[in-house]
Amino acid sequence: MAVAAQAAALGNPAEFERRLAENPKDHQARFDLAMIQNANGDRTAAADNLLAIIKADRSWNEDGARTQLLQLFEAWGMTDEATLAARRKLSALLFS
């Protein structure tokens, strides 16, 4: 419930998508969009947006994207398909 409330407080996902279309390096917009996507059940899109931030700037917001992604893994469960797929992508990013 806390995630859903957080996502609702963030606003309309179309606004974040517009901001990203104008500036793909707007990591805050991408992060907020990921939170909305997660709350709406689109785990893959949420993970992909957080991974995009990590790829572009690992240290953004004091490693906030990676930290949030790890929290999502815990919430989804370590055997969840989205967790497994995103963990593989994260490992490839961090160890390549």
Mind listing the pLDDT tens digit of every residue in the chain (96 residues)?
566 676 678 889 999 999 999 999 999 999 999 999 999 999 999 999 999 999 999 999 999 999 999 999 999 999 999 999 999 999 999 997
| Structural domain boundaries enclosing 82 | 2-94
Q: Phi and psi for 71 in degrees, rounded to 5?
A: -65, -40
pLDDT for 25 equals 97
**CATH code where residue 64 lies:** 1.25.40.10
C-alpha distances out from residue 61 to 22, 28, 53, 67, Å: 21, 9, 10, 10
Domain total in the chain: 1
